[in-house]
Amino acid sequence: MNKSPVFAMAQVGAGVTLLLLALAIGANPALAGNTATLPAGAFLLDGNRLWTRTETRWSDGRTAQPLIDGIVRYEPGGGLQGTITAKPFVSYRFVSTQLFYGLTDHLTLAVAAPLITASVIEPRLGWTPGQYQSTLGRPYSETDFWQWAQSMGQPKPGDFRGNDGVLADLVLGARYRLPPLPGLRDWGIDSAVAVQGALPTGQRPDPEELVAAGTTVWDLHNYGDAEVHLALERGWRWDGVARINLGVDVYYSWLRERSYQTPRGVRNPLLLTFAPYVGESYRINPGDMAGVTGLLELVPWIGPTRGSWIAGGKLENAAKFPPLLTLSAAHTYAHVNSSDWTSESRLWDWEREEDWQPGDKNTVKLGADLSLLRIGLPLQFYAGYRNQEWIPGRNTRATNVTSVGARLLLKFW
């Protein structure tokens, strides 16, 4: 991360998985995962809770490190006072509401509103003593340093707790399930393209706060301002149900350039007085992301099938609904381009860019879906877990996410 905590901790942002398109319901239930679309005229309301945890970043050599480097402090005109160390812990809690609509059997539209209910950052500061100080008769201790800093108007950073009821960037999306393509039809492979875009409704962290968390795309660093996906899937059927589904999704994620106000050191004069040499503002080109996801879905339990009112009283219609239980596992490899910082100080820019060099993320996702459509209830429940620590990445931050949610199918015409 960055050399100063205001940038390091503000950019630590924990990731959030926004499921822009749900499992198929009704028309093509075999098309799960990344190629599913809703039937024409059908709505799907999805609500979920997410808990995130971030406390590890991957170095250029793929070793686990704290989220920020130590901050070296020198006596004015003198020797080394010591190094402020930190092992921050960052956590977000979200409530995400998503609405999907089947414009046609092949085209589904979606909107997702991620609402942060709480953000927590614990800096977990420490201290490594520096050189012998003749005025003290010993090196600075941690208490000595912060007493000295307080005399200069610099308070010791505490925990951050905020963003209660603050929106992240809204997401609009669409998925189009392609007609059977020549060459793929004979292999039973389904395909779809999807696009999504983020609206700038998130909140930036206070630039004068040493420890703060924002809610924008750049702070969360999990989805882009605009994305395009191409997905292919192949299902294998037993008893009329796709018991095994394999898929691949290739995507590109674009992040726009942003302009930020430079901290002036109003509340943190020793650690955040950058404006005099950086300028009143600076720009960040975050760098785009590109990745590929491999998906495996298994159906261990089809469940009872009833010709309920949802199926129009017909058993053959109910047999098209998703199975009662579906288990899934996926792995996403994402390449992250380097970030470009622009200010009046090239040295300051490089110190920020040094921690945002080209890298990658490896995300393992596990999930379970319980669908009650076959037994006559238009409900689905699901739980998921995603981990970015099991497989090392490079020059990225590892965020783990736990989620639970429910989906309600609605059709008015």
Would you write out the chain's pLDDT as a tens digit for each of its 413 residues?
Answer: 333 322 222 222 222 222 222 222 233 333 347 899 999 999 999 999 999 999 999 999 999 999 988 889 998 877 899 999 999 999 999 999 999 999 999 999 999 999 999 999 999 999 999 999 888 899 999 999 999 999 999 999 999 999 999 999 999 999 999 998 777 877 889 999 999 999 999 999 999 999 999 999 988 888 899 999 999 999 998 877 889 999 999 999 999 999 999 999 999 998 899 999 999 999 999 999 999 999 999 999 998 998 888 888 888 888 888 999 999 999 999 999 999 999 999 999 999 998 889 999 999 999 999 999 999 999 999 999 999 999 999 999 999 999 999 999 998 87
Give per-residue pLDDT as tens, 164-183. Answer: 999 999 999 999 999 987 77
Three-state DSSP string of 299-361:
EEECCCCCCCHHHCCCHHHHCCCCCCEEEEEEEEEEEECCCEEECCCHHHHHHHHCCCCCEEE
What per-residue confidence (pLDDT) applies to 359?
96
What per-residue confidence (pLDDT) applies to 156?
93
What is the CA 167 to chain-centroid distance, rounded? 14
What per-residue confidence (pLDDT) applies to 289?
96
What per-residue confidence (pLDDT) applies to 302?
93
Strand 258-261 vs strand 340-342: parallel, antiparallel, or unpaired? Answer: unpaired
Give per-residue pLDDT as tens, 236-260. Answer: 988 778 899 999 999 999 999 999 9
| 96 and 16 Cβ atoms separated by less than 8 Å | yes
Domains of the chain: 5-411 (2.40.160.40)
- 3 state SS of 385: strand
Q: What angle do CA 373, 375, 376 make, to 5 degrees?
A: 65
| pTM of the entire predicted model | 0.88
- Read off the amino acid at residue 136: L
How far is 69 from 71, CA to CA, in rounded Å?
7
What per-residue confidence (pLDDT) applies to 274?
95
What per-residue confidence (pLDDT) applies to 20?
28
What per-residue confidence (pLDDT) applies to 18?
25
